[in-house]
Copies of this chain bind each other. A is one copy, B any other.
């Protein structure tokens, strides 16, 4: 019953319109996928992508990172942004493609924790500059040990996704090694929770080994000095874990390997597969597969059998030295340095795995408002009220209302947008905070004057878009974050309980302090004590009460 109206377009006419779409064209039209959907975000993302690259390069080369960020106003809505680092520099042969081609990079095919992973970021910023101001990126790079630096003006030929060079020269630069990238883009100067200062502050929390120099719109210099002088242990590159592999990927690997035997293939191309495990896999697969089967000649049915066998033979859990968590101590230090609060609790979870990719969760909670006076014990064990102290650092970070603020990080990079759709938010709102003595409306963040910091470190962070703003809600990841939050929640509850007890004791103490002198006077009259005797008795009584409290 095909009811057909007069044909508008024939299959032939439709075919004539079919075309290839270049990846640059695609992202130019879909620039919100890269995060460039608002003028304020555009500025922040450009800085973030350049800083991510700088940090990755420095750490990879074993250099303590020192980064200079500058922003200045041009005309109209145009700003000039420059990011300069003391990294190892980039070879002249690679420069144009790194800055002028999407999907080009060194981190995509590698399994190890890094900030960049897609080979899109900085070229996308260049594409946005080109789109809004028509100006190419201005790049200078000095490779350590070379005599001169390379200077480049480069943009993207979007219909072909390849770099277009406008200028390339050699020059003497002021830095022995490093890279500087400068972009002119249309944007709005970001303020408040999404300001450049806030981004740098959050980055400093997760990277205590970095020094930032920031020159703002008014030419003022702000320095975020490193608190640690050790570079985080360099994460090791790993092979894929056999239990995380999918059939299609296995077939692809069989076709692409240089190994000449199945045994060698299993041993060399996978993590945690030794000779014995490899032999067990082959034996269990059967399907006339042998240790000497030539990988490229393995048929589909054989590959399927191999795949099923791989899934059932026990293999040790993935190596986790591919991860570089911040560490409980460093995280607590970073939070203390940048966030003013009554107290801090921190948890680092053991590594876990999703789709064969190791990942690790770290949680920190900073509780209490800095503007509120707090109670403390003095050296004698007496409770007293601490003076409220206003730090410069406290002003912007701590929530002003009784609402929890969430700071999200992935591979030490702060996630500044897209909170609503993020696995981290989902885990926090799905945790029952009543258990830890906090108020919470169903499906929302708990209501408390606190900051929750969540860090997801992984060899491959599954972002919900190329803008790398939010983490996809894989069950394994949500589960681990919730476990971390619960651990931290329990520590929080203990502290809150202490605080509550301190508060109760303090109230009693205030009463004691108020009435003790009167009791002293009464005793003096009844027992005819001298003034000194009275004072001595009161002091003794006070000590007795304090002792009782401590028991």
Contacts and interface: CB of A to CB of B under 8 A. Distances in A.
Interface of A: 1-12, 14-15, 17-23, 25-26, 28-30, 32-33, 37-38, 57, 60-64, 66, 86, 88-91, 93-94, 97-98, 103-106, 108-110, 118-119, 127, 130-134, 143-144, 158-159, 175-177, 229, 231, 234, 246-249, 251-252, 256, 300, 303-304, 418, 420-422, 425-426, 441, 443-444, 460, 462-466, 470, 472-475
Given A18-B98, A247-B132, A37 B144 contact: no
Nearest to A303: B134
A348 B460 CA distance: 44
Contacts of A21: 103-105, 108-109, 118-119
B106 A18 contact: yes
B300 A134 contact: yes
Residue picked from A94, A109, A119, A421, most chain B C-beta under 10 Å: A421
A363 to B, nearest CB: 21
A111 to B, nearest CB: 10
A109 B251 CA distance: 35
- The 5 lowest CB-CB distance pairs between A and B, nearest first, are A421-B421, A131-B248, A17-B106, A8-B62, A21-B103
A466 B32 CA distance: 11
B20 A23 contact: no
Copies in the complex: 2
16 contacts: A4-B64, A5-B64, A11-B177, A15-B91, A18-B94, A21-B109, A21-B119, A22-B103, A23-B23, A33-B466, A131-B248, A131-B249, A158-B252, A159-B252, A418-B464, A421-B421
A326 to B, nearest CB: 19
B249 A10 contact: no
Given A91-B12, A94-B15, A2 B86 contact: yes
B5 A462 contact: no
A246 B94 contact: no
B421 A88 contact: no
Contacts of A97: 18
A19 B119 CA distance: 9
Contacts of A247: 131-134
Contacts of A131: 246-249
Nearest to A60: B9
A224 B353 CA distance: 43
Nearest to A473: B37
B66 A11 contact: no
A63 B7 contact: yes
A130 to B, nearest CB: 5
Contact of A2 (B6, B18, B176, B303): B176
A18 B64 contact: no
Contacts of A426: 420
A32 to B, nearest CB: 4
A448 to B, nearest CB: 16
A110 B2 CA distance: 29
Contacts of A98: 18
A105 B248 contact: no
Contacts of A464: 32-33, 418, 421, 464-465
